A and B are shown apart, each in its own frame.
Chain A
Amino acid sequence: MNKRDIEFEILRYNPETDEKPSFQTYRVPCQEDWVILDAINYVKDEIDRTLSYRWSCHMAVCGSCGMMINGEPTLSCKSFLRDHPDRIRIEPLSNFPIERDLITVMDDFMEKLGSVKPYIVPNEDRPVDEGEHRQTPAQLADFKQYTACINCLLCYAACPQYALNEDFVGPGALALAHRYNLDSRDVGREARADVVASNAGIWECSFVGACSQVCPHDVDPAGAIQQTKIASTVDYFKALLMPWRN
């Protein structure tokens, strides 16, 4: 296996001892088929036990290991060294406070995720004994893309609006709300509108589309937000023109 020495500049921060974050450089003898995460694990195991970061599945589905790699929000377990030069800069995901080293504070996202009511609001209390709901493949296809979000937060790190306004509900949570709104088993759209169609919701999005570009699972949050805007606008005019239907 081909080996290559790569220099990693990793942003370090220990809140107990450091006033502010600073870069530390590690020279890692890398195998060419490694991903970035393999190299960071090498640093942890062989060079510096004090480096902290999150990871688990190593197959791009648990969503733990998002980082800024040469300035781009990326899953480090899916970013191959063969696609990178001999010097790589690693930072925690942008737009989140740093807890320690590459570990960010996720509280804000977790709160927003819950705020959009990301669960089925059923039309009727269907007893389990009556079996599954009927949902055709076409009905499933309506929302399936938006079920693929792994909560890796790359979209938040890429979002220029979230950078400016931390109240913005943000791409991941809004895409998830859209997923449930489109589900044939759900009638919760109105209940979600409080948050989704608020000033901090869809209208805050300026449709730069950076979220969809960095999404590792092609969820297309930008598309979800645009579709929600259209649906909300229709709701608005319906209420204006047909007040008796409210």
Chain B
Amino acid sequence: MESIRSDVAIVGAGGAGLRAAIAVAETDPDLRVALISKVYPMRSHTVAAEGGAAGVVKDNDSLENHFDDTVAGGDWLCDQDAVELFVNEAPRELTQIEHWGCPWSREPNGRVAVRPFGGMKVERTWYAADKTGFHMLHTLFQTSLKYPSIQRYDEFYSTDLVVVDGRCRGVTAIDMRSGQMRLFRAKAVIIATGGAGRVFPFTTNGAIKTGDGMAMAYRAGVPLKDMEFIQYHPTGLPGTGILITEGARGEGGILVNRDGYRYLQDYGLGPPDPWPRKKAMELGPRDRLSQAFWHEHNKGRTIESPHGDVVHLDLRQLGEKKIEERLPMVRELAQSYVGVDPVHEPIPVRPVVHYTMGGIDTDIDAASRIGGLFAAGECACVSINGANRLGSNSLTELLVFGARAGRGAAAQAGDEGHEPDQSAIEEQAAAAQDGVGELFRRTGGTERIPHLRKEMNDTMELGAGIYRNEESLKESCAKMADIQRRYAGIELEDKSNVYNTDLIQALELGSMIEVARAIVVSALNRAESRGSHQRLDRVERDDQNYLKHTLARYSTDGDPSIEYRDVVITKSVPGERVYGGGEK
């Protein structure tokens, strides 16, 4: 097998991977970076983020405010040392990407503009109209072209980590153009592969978000942390799941039910006026808003549509000028995909799976428990998002922790420890190759990939929706175990080498099934309600037993084993989350 040597290998070239690559290059231009991604960098899903990136920059704001909002928004499941570091480094990272050319929207005096976002006490979300992720991704990608030490491997699908003597020594990947397996030898590896929204049937996530990096780290022995916390974004377009940014509500948009009533006032988020008002009504946190939709639906107060019930997001009061200036993509998306011009009509929306709060267990330096292995961005769980991420913290997170991962990996690359056992490395790479080879040659299969994928999607919606209960979770756990067993019975229908997307989809499905099992088993074991994890059979938060991170550990046979770790509390004592009128 051809082996490619570098100092730092990065899997994933979205926001976090690119930021990490630049950090390595800036730390030491002599370090060779292999930037490996299953898609060209500008296709990465960071591109679809819309609303903005949070960081304290204005005089009316403070780091304490950002800290408090984030910790309360996460229902006190965030590690507070990590949040403190995050809010401290956020302004610097956002300024850095401004220097690299990110076209942030501006105030008349030329300073960067900020907008209000859900669950945030003060407006602190930097934005580039409503294409913030797109602009950040392209700015990072284009900036990365300056550094000759960054060597890209576009359209390489990573399959397995190589771990010898407790240290990560590289990663195996399929060159999709030739179908050949390559061994990327490296002194440090960073995983930056994004989330796993595609385990669900209705999601804002692009097709590529299949949790490959999470699954790789998980199989290599790193626990997946807090996987039960899945964010439903309250405003997706019916049918496609296309995201309509929270920025639309930040600018003054309202949500109404079939009677034209601003129903959020019935769920502890009111009173409705004055509007707009921070941390109230439509600017409450995403978990609360999606849960309110569920209740409205049960009360029969939502609106029927061919793709499931909806409520209306009404932006008409903003006027055409403001919509064009601040939300041009929202207008375009609504016009194209649901035939509605938000200048004249409300947009039909429903909650949609958006973000995995959980992920690869890392410390505040983005390091995992395996030496030389780092993770950053949505695939990682540091944890700053706790039980519910606040909108606009994730774009900042991928900068702050992508940079930290890059600097950490650069330091490790200079200190590899003793010379690794070459034959052990090659053995592991060969085993990875054999695994893919077996799948490739398998005959007599009884399962079809797309059908098994659909069963997985439906199982996850059943068990791990906005509201969960013990019974449906048990059923989903059993069903997912069965799906994993049946996965061994898939057979490829495409046996060619060049760009075999049947093979890639099969491998992606394997990753998704592993991640999906971690989600439902973690959710079944957490017998309380917190943030985005709401159990109808355990409606209260239980700090006595569950002020803890869930750690799901991979098992080759059977369900993952579950352990817990205390949340790091430094200065904010767990309290009640207060939104709306109760907020002082």
Residues of A within 8 A of B (CB): 1, 14-17, 33, 44-46, 48-64, 78, 80, 99-101, 103, 106, 110, 113-114, 117-120, 122, 126, 128-129, 131-137, 139-140, 143-144, 147-151, 176, 180, 183, 185-186
Contacts and interface: CB of A to CB of B under 8 A. Distances in A.
Contacts of A57: 43, 45, 47-48, 206-207
A56 B496 contact: no
Nearest to A46: B450
Give chain A's interface secondary structure class: loop
Given A64-B39, A119-B143, A186 B101 contact: yes
Interface string B323-337: 000000100010011
A80 B306 CA distance: 17
A83 B497 CA distance: 36
A99 B176 CA distance: 11
Query: Which 8 pairs of residues, A with B, have the shortest CB-CB distance?
Result: A134-B110, A49-B493, A45-B450, A56-B206, A100-B499, A50-B494, A120-B101, A118-B142
Contact of A133 (B39, B98, B499, B501): B98
B279 interface: no
A33 B239 contact: yes
A60 B336 contact: yes
Contacts of A99: 177, 498-499
A16 B145 CA distance: 33
Interface stretch (B130-138, B350-358, B425-433): B130-138
A151 B492 CA distance: 32
Interface residues of B, number: 59
Nearest to A59: B242
B111 A52 contact: no
Interface string B84-112: 00000000100110111101111111111
A180 B492 contact: no
B336 A62 contact: no
Nearest to B91: A131
B441 interface: no
A120 B99 contact: yes
Contacts of A120: 99-101, 143
A126 B101 CA distance: 13
Given A147-B135, A185-B101, 11 more contacts: A33-B239, A49-B502, A54-B43, A57-B48, A57-B207, A58-B242, A61-B47, A61-B134, A99-B498, A113-B145, A119-B100
Given A63-B43, A114-B145, A147-B135, A50 B493 contact: yes
Contacts of A185: 99, 101
B481 interface: no
30 contacts: A50-B494, A51-B501, A52-B501, A54-B43, A56-B39, A56-B208, A59-B240, A61-B329, A62-B43, A62-B44, A62-B45, A63-B42, A100-B499, A119-B101, A119-B145, A120-B100, A128-B96, A132-B95, A132-B112, A133-B99, A135-B106, A135-B110, A136-B106, A136-B108, A136-B110, A140-B105, A140-B106, A144-B103, A176-B142, A185-B101
Nearest to B204: A59
B336 A49 contact: no
Q: Which of B100, B104, B142 has the most CB of A within 10 A?
A: B142
B146 interface: yes
B135 A62 contact: no
